[in-house]
Amino acid sequence: MNYKILVIYISLFFALSLACLSLYYENNWNDFFIILIVSFIISFITLSTIILRYINNRISNLYKLIRSLKLGKDMKEVLAEHASDDPILSAEEEVREWSNQRSSEIRRLREQEKYRREFLSNISHEFKTPLFAIQGYIETLQDGMLEEDPKLSIQFLSKASKNIDRLTYLISDLDEISKLETGKISLNMEKFDIIPLLIETKEQLEDKAKKQDINIILNFKTNTTILVEADKLKIQQVLVNLIDNSLKYGKEGGKTTISIFHLIDQVLIEVTDNGLGIEEKNIARVFERFFRTDRSRSREIGGSGLGLSIVKHIIEAHEQTVNARSTEGLGTTFGFTLEKTRNT
């Protein structure tokens, strides 16, 4: 029923009641009609105002909140400072709080959906590129190249083998990230000296650095001892990934610097290159799976595109922090912390 009709009925009831009382005591029909009309008008205006202001407006606000929620709009929560005895107001506040929570959940779901689409698109591309290359080489060999040009056939087989290796690295890295995320890989925590590990990792990548004319510099005293508690093999994997990344994106004739900084209970290890750097808008995304700041160049230098994501998962599994900072044209620095232990 329309609230105006309800107000008319109620107002008419009050007006008739007052008019009948007047007629009963005064027995004057003129007063009866005057009181009936005046009381009806006053009752109608009063009740309309009350219903419109204290009920209809509240309900309208509730509908607006629900509609805004459905549209996915952002809303600022404005709650009363003190509890209200007004049940309509309390209901409005409850819906407002609920709608804000749902809006946040919707935003997170949309972000996750966007990330899922990007991830599927990236992984599809990462797999298709080497697979199509392998397919092309094999089909060419099947068409008679083995007999026609054995030397070129060997080159094609070598290229196909490299693409198979790329697929193997990709699958291995994906499997490792999945295990790290689900906690299926347990960390073998031990106390060890980080200095020899840094030197060993540098020597391990020395040949690759020379091929790219990049000098790896140890910016710390190699005759000191810094004990940390971590999974030694996993930390070496982190160092390999970070140094290898600096070699991939460093400039020819440049350098990669490995530094150590002492914090209160931690040690900060940084790997810095003097390459092209990363745009500021992309810094927050460098640890995402398959994210590449320069896709065309990334295809040339290879890699699974998962190295930095693995670094992030390993360091966070140690309950430590990893970060990146960069300046375009000057270079990029990746740093991570490890828990220090006392030399006993």
Q: What CATH number is associated with residue 166? A: 1.10.287.130
Report the alpha-carbon distance of residue 267 to residue 198 in Å, rounded: 13
Q: Average pLDDT, whole number, for the chain?
A: 77
Boundary (domain end) residue, out of 137, 164, 182 = 182
Q: Flag whether 112 is in a domain.
A: no
Q: Are 275 and 290 in contact (CB under 8 A)?
A: no
Q: How would residue 324 be classed by pLDDT, with cut points 50, 70 and 90?
A: very high
Half-sphere exposure of 332 (CA within 13 A, CB side): 23
Q: Flag whether 307 is in a domain.
A: yes
Name the more confident of 127 and 234.
234
Please check whether residues 150 and 177 belong to one and the same domain.
Answer: yes
Q: List the one residue out of 266, 264, 260 whose CA is nearest residue 228.
A: 266
Please check whether residues 39 and 129 belong to one and the same domain.
Answer: no
Please check whether residues 126 and 247 belong to one and the same domain.
Answer: no
Please check whether residues 219 and 326 belong to one and the same domain.
Answer: yes
CATH of the domain at 300: 3.30.565.10
| Alpha helix ranges (H) inside 56-184 | 57-71, 87-140, 146-148, 150-182
At residue 29, φ and ψ (nearest 5 deg) are -70, -30
Please check whether residues 91 and 20 belong to one and the same domain.
Answer: yes
In the numeric block, the tokens 């006993």 are attached to: 344
Q: Flag whether 115 is in a domain.
A: no
Boundary (domain end) residue, out of 182, 212, 227 = 182
Q: Flag whether 263 is in a domain.
A: yes
Query: How far is the CA of 74 from the CAs of 36, 58, 65, 92, in angstroms?
Result: 51, 20, 10, 17
In the numeric block, the tokens 């430590």 are attached to: 320
Q: How would residue 29 be classed by pLDDT, with cut points 50, 70 and 90?
A: confident
Count of domains forming the chain: 3
Sign of the C-alpha dihedral computed for residues 92, 93, 96 and 102 taken in this order? negative
Name the more confident of 47 and 226.
226
Q: Flag whether 114 is in a domain.
A: no
In this prediction, residue 214 carries a pLDDT of 93
Q: Flag whether 289 is in a domain.
A: yes
Report the alpha-carbon distance of residue 70 to residue 66 in Å, rounded: 6
Report the alpha-carbon distance of residue 170 to residue 306 in Å, rounded: 8
Please check whether residues 197 and 336 belong to one and the same domain.
Answer: yes
Please check whether residues 197 and 314 belong to one and the same domain.
Answer: yes
Please check whether residues 203 and 79 belong to one and the same domain.
Answer: no
Which of 79-93, 116-130, 150-164, 278-292 is least confident?
Answer: 79-93
Please check whether residues 225 and 317 belong to one and the same domain.
Answer: yes
Which residues are within 8 A (CB) of 119 and not within 5 positions of it... i.e. 6 or more apart?
A: 289, 290
Predicted confidence (pLDDT) at residue 196 exceeds the cutoff of 90: yes
Boundary (domain end) residue, out of 103, 130, 152 = 103
In this prediction, residue 122 carries a pLDDT of 65
Identify which of 46-50, 244-248, 256-260 has the greatest average pLDDT.
256-260
Report the alpha-carbon distance of residue 292 to residue 304 in Å, rounded: 10
Q: How would residue 79 be classed by pLDDT, with cut points 50, 70 and 90?
A: very low
- By residue range, what is the domain housing residue 34? 3-103
Q: Flag whether 223 is in a domain.
A: yes
Task: Give pLDDT tens digits for 87-133.
Answer: 455 556 666 777 777 777 777 777 667 666 766 666 676 677 778 88
pLDDT > 90: percent of the chain: 25
pTM of the model: 0.58
